[in-house]
């Protein structure tokens, strides 16, 4: 098929998702490929309650995947962290590529400009992330965590309106919507371990669309792809549900080896497990399953199953 084909890009309609899709459209244009956006409002966008009531993170991707499967779109742009890792990609779909990873850190935005450690007892932090809640309880037990859903712009508005005193948001996401100037503090990875797939934009298409798989391959970043494969293999091994505080990230060390650091917490952060191992870049999934198996050996299954879902 010639590059005169117009690629229909399915995306959530939030400001961050649109920024991501427009970035992909610009990259496609650089390859001489035209595109147009197909905006999809997902169940996760419509629902402001507990995500577990909608089946967890998949609530942000199901309708977009359906747009691919029903030929209403050709290419989906997802935050990789939103794609469930405990189940396969839907039948008939495949990853076309992963863009180069952005910053995986979480940032703090406070109304007062103070750092988390310096905030008074009872200061309210708004987040509905079980991963963030567990680590905040572990490292900053003097703070009060309050559920807060919505895209980053909505949550920033809640901060300005005084509903909460502090927000925790992904550094990459803040950059995508031009709000990086709001950052008060960037948390180190020992204090706030990121979610699997943090900072990675994934491209997904129909598995039988060979031309688009080739185009996606031109945008694929091999190192990010290896890191994503390792992290998602760990998540698959753990078989966590949407209320499981699981965190982890892969890197490449100076010797060229893959490293993967995984953590599993209980809901209040009072118990947690930690595993870090190295592997060869040729088999990232083997490393992911090895780290997952180590966490299971330490008792991750009981920790995960102890959390209601």
Q: Which residues are catalytic?
A: 82
Q: CA-CA distances (angstroms) from residue 284 to 209, 247, 255, 258? A: 25, 17, 15, 7
Q: Which of 114, 121, 272 is nearest to 192 (CA)?
A: 272
d(CA 260, CA 278): 6
Burial class (CB in 10 A: 0-12, 13-18, 19+), 203: buried
Strand order across the 106-110 sheet: 144-146, 124-126, 166-170, 106-110, 185-186
Handedness of CA 145, 246, 263, 249 (dihedral sign): negative
Query: How many angstroms separate the CA atoms of 244 and 241, rounded?
Result: 5
Sign of the four-CA dihedral 71, 73, 74, 75: negative
Strand locations in the chain, DSSP E?
6-12, 34-40, 75-79, 93-98, 106-110, 124-126, 144-146, 166-170, 185-186, 201-206, 246-252, 258-265, 272-279
Cα–Cα distance measured from residue 284 to residue 269, given in angstroms and rounded to the nearest whole number: 28
């Amino acid at each position: 098929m010639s590059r005169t084909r117009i690629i229909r890009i399915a995306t959530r309609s939030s400001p961050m998702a649109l920024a991501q899709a427009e970035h992909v459209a610009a990259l496609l244009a650089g390859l001489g490929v035209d595109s147009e956006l197909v905006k999809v409002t997902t169940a996760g966008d419509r629902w402001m309650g507990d995500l577990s009531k909608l089946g967890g993170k998949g609530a942000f991707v199901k309708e977009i995947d359906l747009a691919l499967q029903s030929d209403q779109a050709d290419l989906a742009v997802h935050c990789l962290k939103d794609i469930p890792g405990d189940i396969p990609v839907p039948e008939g779909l495949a990853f076309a590529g992963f863009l180069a990873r952005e910053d995986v850190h979480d940032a703090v935005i406070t109304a007062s400009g103070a750092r988390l450690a310096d905030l008074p007892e009872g200061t309210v932090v708004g987040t509905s992330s079980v991963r963030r809640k567990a680590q905040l309880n572990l490292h900053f037990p003097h703070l009060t965590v309050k559920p807060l859903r919505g895209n980053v712009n909505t949550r920033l508005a809640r901060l300005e309106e005084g509903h909460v005193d502090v927000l925790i948001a992904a550094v990459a996401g803040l950059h995508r919507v031009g709000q990086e100037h709001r950052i008060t503090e960037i948390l180190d990875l020992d204090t706030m371990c990121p979610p699997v797939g943090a900072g990675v934009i994934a491209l997904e298409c129909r598995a039988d669309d060979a031309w688009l798989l080739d185009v996606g391959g031109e945008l694929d970043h091999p190192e990010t792809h290896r890191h994503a494969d390792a992290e998602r293999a760990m998540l698959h091994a753990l078989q966590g549900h949407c209320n499981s505080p699981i965190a982890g990230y892969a890197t490449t060390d100076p010797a060229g080896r893959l490293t993967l650091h995984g953590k599993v917490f209980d809901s209040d952060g009072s118990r947690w497990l930690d595993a870090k191992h190295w592997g060869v870049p040729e088999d990232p999934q083997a490393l992911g399953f090895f780290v997952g198996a180590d966490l299971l050996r330490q008792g991750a299954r009981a920790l995960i199953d102890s959390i209601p879902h």
